[in-house]
Structure 1
């Protein structure tokens, strides 16, 4: 976003991560700090020979400048000469809203972004939430961990960073609109809505079948198996056998071909229902293999798989080194002078490294700068702009051609469609599946089904409304419909007669083409950068494969859980006495989707400013590493020979106490964080427990006696309803949240007051509820619309491309286009 000046007045991770992404895409970002510096300068501090270094500050504030803010200055004064102001808001929301309204009146083109835990309105609008509560309030933590133990957050503040990424998307959209209309906007981002948006099919399972998704340990609940972690001789691996051919390859790799005689095992949900039986076989096989041996034989048989890598493993990854991913400070840059930096663990600033941008954007070579000292301005600040770049048009004029599957790619294009782009989703006639089992089998399975009961395995993965596939099951897929609203559908076989001509005409009219295929899939589909530019020399392209288009692992196949393991994230998640844990959802998919949307909007912005084509190579592995950036920086600076930190369960090194505590009722839990000494004083007043030690007045003392404090807290929570306990703690000024299930989120009074769930049913269909847009605007238009039926817009799109009715009929006759899957 070159030419954009951003003032970031936030002091929490969400706002700062938002600003980091804007800086990564080329904006000039200035951090406004109090005279004693941001509190993030004191987070994750490591003592080095060069002095104390905050890995959090170094990571989140790289490529930005700093200015000391006069505490008496008004927002109006501070915003002068800036295009964007980023705020994280808590406390007195009314006065903040009034101040934002005043500054927007004085600066009509300003884009102001306000990030809050729950939004400006609703019964929980004044509630506090930090990174641990983010895991709890949006339904994510309820899906992580063992069913008979407390639920787990991820191993870092990753969801908070996703709130920031969501805010960045809203800001970019408002900037595009402002460039055309001359009017700025207020972008309101609540963590609740951003994190509800960060689910795959958890919400659909509840709204369509009445089933509350639960946690299943290291299994991928309800739908697929094996999609899990297994222990080998020297570590752990992730195996993701989802499709029919992957199951066949998996059985061959394990030398268990007799399993192929089980016809029912070709149904993924049947395999999940037999997970105990299968895991005995898989675990016995894995226990005799090294990680390298297991991954090699699985990949040779086309089974998505990979190691559960540690943070240290990723710091010396050959794939990342080949892509020049890591950014180094305090040492000679290996890419500029040919000197390889020393290996991690030397305990010196000279070995420290940060994750780089998660995408290679053609024509944009970011300059890496270390995080600024207090008050250090830009070395070469861009001049204050006198006008907006000419030729920029709102997303309502943008055409995007989409070739995507699963979640990450569809999420990018759904977000662009929500913001007004004309997204045309290209689907092969078999893209949504070939056929359902015979009707009599489905009817027999549904015979005893009741609302709230997990559907039988034959129809479970479809997540059909009321567990009814209907005659057009391919249009009723709940998970597909959630991911593909706000698009038009073209069902096209590119390899059938005339298919390439349709593609050529479509690309000629497009602004952007998006795919999330592997490089091999891109070549097979004939949509490489060279081929697309031959059709449209000015096209913007976004390739978002699992590992990136280059490097020794580029051709590897993966699913989200494989990237969860391969990125190092799973290695940091778990109980203190456990092995690694995957997330309950395919977490890297939503990470890749949100970061991919940021990159897509930045690439369009660059194209509009330069009139040049832009090609983007995005690695979903690298986006996953980005959300844990300061953890990688910390790992790179550990003293030589030191062991990595143990898994912490629900605790954090940044506050004490913090954790998850059992409440009254079945599987009922509360998350809370004592952020500072004032919050501790408030907590002990609420608990009113004689066992409270007066020496626990400092964070260091509380960290030392965390176990004893946990016992005291759980003595109080065990007698209370989780929602009532959270409300009581919030009233005392303590960040807390019930560990919300998906049912809790959907049915919560605050969700209703905010209009969290929206109906995406097509005309004539029963209501179908999904989470809506994850941010709100005052003026920027958004355009949510129901998802397309298979091939719904074939005729309209082809007519726009100049095809005559007889030509369209011929394309149907040759099965080049279709509205139903083949028999």
Structure 2
């Protein structure tokens, strides 16, 4: 959390009691986030303490990572192998609201402390398990590291360069965003248990969190058979890839708001307006030529200068920043992104600055870390920091499946957040402009079977995943009539989601201050690139430019190579998951006070929260982490090597000397490899070996390993099938049922089913029903309003659409296949997913159907 606008309201989660078990980073981060919002968190540590306390722990930064993950907590020492201490743990859990456990599944079974065991000890609490692959299933006991979950999660298959091996995203980010997922799921669980009286069990898999990033990648395959690979080393320079400047790197994104004619003005280069550079496919084919055109202009300007000046002019531009630049960033300072503690100083003697921002909340006093991480066994309590277990809900508070959400957002982070709320049963109404289609309704992600049809805005693949289960209407908020109807809808809403440029809604008379006069209970989430305050608040942004500016690209890339982007739209996922943390925290707060609030989420500042190692290390020794390809921070030997077959890759990671020796005995028959490094030895071993077989061999020996999976592989992955990660959606015109990504956790209890509720809505599909039922507008008025343009039943003046030409990408192997036999693969996946669910439950679990009217059912 960060600075708030009011100081009269107490921290709203102060009635939550949390018990944290295990030594995993993800679970510790999730529990710390709950403490950030005021919960009383007790960390259960083994005799001797959490290994992160040891200054020599790999990647622990002299114990500073322990400080980052454990402020605002208390510490209790229990030997979980001792029956009396387990009884003491049982007593703590009996009165807890939330239990966060990251015990290894095999250890949990041996101790009788599985998530199901822990749930049986609670009265009305929520148990959240966070492990590498989930607490059960065929992969549950596999060794997991950052590299391995990124490989098996699929993000590496589209990261790196086609000419090289797949590359992982830098540092340990999946560790932290798994914690974000666990935190929001925990709060959703508490809300559900309070309104239902039933405990809940939530099982988060870090690997599934990685796979959940593949929304666009997976839907491209499931809806049109496009199997993506890595981009070519020299890609479209206007596709958000880092470009060298005089003193660093920038990213530039071509868009409808910044077409090539405007970019020609930015660089003073008329040649950029030539038709040959008009499409991203042709720009990729001519990337070398384009870079030669740009080089003289880029070499003459400083990266940050170009970023600031171009951003002020409305361009989508990013700048690759390192930790030192972010620590000195005026925007992060203005947003309160860092927090310091007395007596924790860096190498310069200045107080250490820890990433500490999850957005700004209008309804709460400033809540920042008030206590540094506890000493081992430090469990002092005061009346101000101990919660009341199982706090009672206010009478009349709606259950999760009774919430009403108005979604004004477009493209990705906001819509996906709304789609996930719909999974909890919320009635989410997507409100679209008659005159400007959501970009996700255009060719963003491709059309079904690469055929735009007569209504292309209803046939885009990615839109189906991020907008599932919603209803849709179209209102012109620039008209007096349109804003009037919107205000009527606000009166009965619980949540509004928007991602307009800061200030736009206020100028329309629809800012939070105006809306809360209509509905004081309203919770409003505003998601923007840089937040509503600070010197960069007016800058435009999207995933490709933010990934660089956040610093993620600085630490991603091959040894000795330039910075790279990884995956697709990564910052949007951080915003989605962090936004859900804020929304569920605000809902729990509203249970106590009956008041809503405004959440001001700036995507840029979220980056530092998932890269604490870089931020802290610079302050420890003044150094930066370098780009190291697939080397892991805490591994002695790790990498990705080619195997037999086309695009077959094995990721491996050995974290101890003993594991390294065991690895070498397997691959070379000896515990030492003279004159060669471990990676070379593994690469020679896998030359004629299938990646999946090699991974099994290493995992059976207790060495973390996995095949780098792609979108096609993931559909048939036995662990994902076991966990129901993909859910089947039906109800498309002229299209068979399709699998879409669900959530990175399984859920049971809480009085609700968490599942995909139906397909995404067609444009304005529910306008008449929503306006008549929810806004008190008569059918005749809807007809009249549609004539004036205040309401639309079809989009006004949509741009022409055509099938995409993938030949250039097939030629450079950034796409491996299009169409073909993909429908058979998808049909097999659908059959497999349906087979795991009893026939009587198919419409309420793995298969969410929708009739001709679509939307939530």
Partner Cα distance (1:643, 1:386) in 2:
46
Q: Say which of 512, 515, 529 aligns to 2:498.
A: 515
> In the alignment, is residue 351 of structure 1 matched against residue 351 of structure 2?
yes
Confirm or deny: 8 A CA contact 2:58 2:634 kept in the other structure. no
Name the counterpart of 1:63. 72
Partner Cα distance (1:627, 1:379) in 2:
30
Name the counterpart of 1:42. 54
Q: What are the residue-to-residue correspondences of 1:330-369 with 2, within 5 Å? A: 330=342, 346-348=347-349, 350-362=350-362, 363-368=364-369, 369=371
> In the alignment, is residue 388 of structure 1 matched against residue 388 of structure 2?
no
Partner Cα distance (2:111, 2:715) in 1:
28
Name the counterpart of 1:370. 372
Distance change in 2, residues 1:469/1:273 (3 Å): farther
Q: Deviations over 1:726-768 (max 9, x none)?
A: 1111111111111112222123233334333222232554222
Name the counterpart of 2:592. 609
Name the counterpart of 2:618. 635
> In the alignment, is residue 23 of structure 1 matched against residue 32 of structure 2?
no
Q: Say which of 517, 520, 523 aligns to 1:537.
A: 520
Q: CA deviation at 1:429?
A: 2.1
Q: CA deviation at 1:174?
A: 1.2
Q: What are the residue-to-residue correspondences of 1:746-761 with 2, within 5 Å? A: 746-761=715-730
Q: Secondary structure, in 3 states, of the residue corresponding to 2:740?
A: strand
Q: Deviations over 1:760-809 (max 9, x none)?
A: 23255422221123221122322422111111111111012111111111
Q: Deviations over 1:484-536 (max 9, x none)?
A: 11211111111235101111101111112111222144345543222222332
Confirm or deny: 8 A CA contact 1:138 1:195 kept in the other structure. yes
Partner Cα distance (1:711, 1:577) in 2:
18
Q: Say which of 224, 234, 246 aligns to 1:209.
A: 224
> In the alignment, is residue 771 of structure 1 matched against residue 784 of structure 2?
no
Name the counterpart of 1:449. none
Partner Cα distance (1:47, 1:756) in 2:
31
Q: CA deviation at 1:460?
A: 5.8
Q: Deviations over 1:293-345 (max 9, x none)?
A: 4224422442111221111000011111122221012369xxxxxxxxx9xx6
Q: Secondary structure, in 3 states, of the residue corresponding to 2:749?
A: coil
Quick check: 566-575 or 273-282, which moved more?
273-282
Confirm or deny: 8 A CA contact 2:662 2:671 kept in the other structure. no
Distance change in 2, residues 1:83/1:244 (3 Å): closer
> In the alignment, is residue 737 of structure 1 matched against residue 706 of structure 2?
yes
Name the counterpart of 1:80. 94
Q: Deviations over 1:228-270 (max 9, x none)?
A: 21000111111112225443321211112343352x7554444
Distance change in 2, residues 1:212/1:108 (3 Å): same
Q: CA deviation at 1:576?
A: 2.2
Name the counterpart of 1:249. 262
Quick check: 93-102 or 515-524, which moved more?
93-102
Q: What are the residue-to-residue correspondences of 1:60-209 with 2, within 5 Å? A: 60-71=69-80, 72=82, 73-74=85-86, 76-92=90-106, 99-209=114-224
Name the counterpart of 1:450. none
Partner Cα distance (2:55, 2:647) in 1:
33
Q: What are the residue-to-residue correspondences of 1:300-311 with 2, within 5 Å? A: 300-311=312-323
Partner Cα distance (2:586, 2:56) in 1:
33
Partner Cα distance (1:627, 1:571) in 2:
14
Q: Secondary structure, in 3 states, of the residue corresponding to 2:677?
A: helix
Name the counterpart of 1:453. none
Q: Deviations over 1:268-300 (max 9, x none)?
A: 444445434333323342122221442244224
Name the counterpart of 1:662. 642
Q: CA deviation at 1:144?
A: 1.6
Confirm or deny: 8 A CA contact 1:68 1:374 kept in the other structure. yes
Confirm or deny: 8 A CA contact 1:179 1:393 kept in the other structure. no
Q: Secondary structure, in 3 states, of the residue corresponding to 1:544?
A: strand
Distance change in 2, residues 1:584/1:98 (3 Å): closer
Distance change in 2, residues 1:140/1:462 (3 Å): closer
Partner Cα distance (1:209, 1:255) in 2:
39
Name the counterpart of 2:854. none
Partner Cα distance (1:316, 1:770) in 2:
41
Confirm or deny: 8 A CA contact 2:241 2:564 kept in the other structure. no
Name the counterpart of 1:796. 769
Confirm or deny: 8 A CA contact 2:16 2:387 kept in the other structure. no
Partner Cα distance (2:566, 2:610) in 1:
14
Name the counterpart of 2:466. 483
Name the counterpart of 1:455. none
Name the counterpart of 1:647. 627
Distance change in 2, residues 1:754/1:326 (3 Å): closer
Partner Cα distance (1:182, 1:40) in 2:
37
Quick check: 744-753 or 648-657, which moved more?
744-753
Q: Secondary structure, in 3 states, of the residue corresponding to 1:154?
A: coil
Partner Cα distance (2:548, 2:422) in 1:
31
Distance change in 2, residues 1:43/1:630 (3 Å): farther
Partner Cα distance (2:232, 2:26) in 1:
28
Name the counterpart of 2:548. 565
Q: Secondary structure, in 3 states, of the residue corresponding to 1:759?
A: strand
Distance change in 2, residues 1:57/1:220 (3 Å): farther
Q: Secondary structure, in 3 states, of the residue corresponding to 1:778?
A: strand
Partner Cα distance (2:125, 2:596) in 1:
29
Q: Deviations over 1:553-594 (max 9, x none)?
A: 111111112111111221111222112112231211111111
Confirm or deny: 8 A CA contact 1:165 1:594 kept in the other structure. yes
Unmatched segments (≥5 aa) in structure 2: 1-12, 798-857
Quick check: 601-610 or 761-770, which moved more?
761-770
Q: Say which of 796, 806, 809 aligns to 2:783.
A: 809
Q: CA deviation at 1:185?
A: 1.1
Q: Say which of 4, 28, 37 aligns to 2:16.
A: 4
Distance change in 2, residues 1:435/1:531 (3 Å): closer
Quick check: 679-688 or 593-602, which moved more?
679-688
Q: CA deviation at 1:725?
A: 0.8
Q: CA deviation at 1:388?
A: 2.0
Confirm or deny: 8 A CA contact 1:402 1:514 kept in the other structure. yes
Partner Cα distance (1:547, 1:12) in 2:
31
Q: Deviations over 1:29-52 (max 9, x none)?
A: 11111111112223776999xxx8
> In the alignment, is residue 464 of structure 1 matched against residue 444 of structure 2?
no
Confirm or deny: 8 A CA contact 1:426 1:490 kept in the other structure. yes
Confirm or deny: 8 A CA contact 1:43 1:56 kept in the other structure. no
Distance change in 2, residues 1:300/1:77 (3 Å): closer
Confirm or deny: 8 A CA contact 1:138 1:740 kept in the other structure. yes
Distance change in 2, residues 1:538/1:29 (3 Å): same
Distance change in 2, residues 1:77/1:429 (3 Å): same
Partner Cα distance (1:227, 1:518) in 2:
20
TM-score, normalised by the number of residues in structure 1: 0.88
**Count of residues in correspondence between the two structures:** 769
Partner Cα distance (2:284, 2:785) in 1:
40
Q: Say which of 241, 245, 249 aligns to 1:232.
A: 245
Partner Cα distance (1:87, 1:79) in 2:
11
Q: CA deviation at 1:138?
A: 0.8
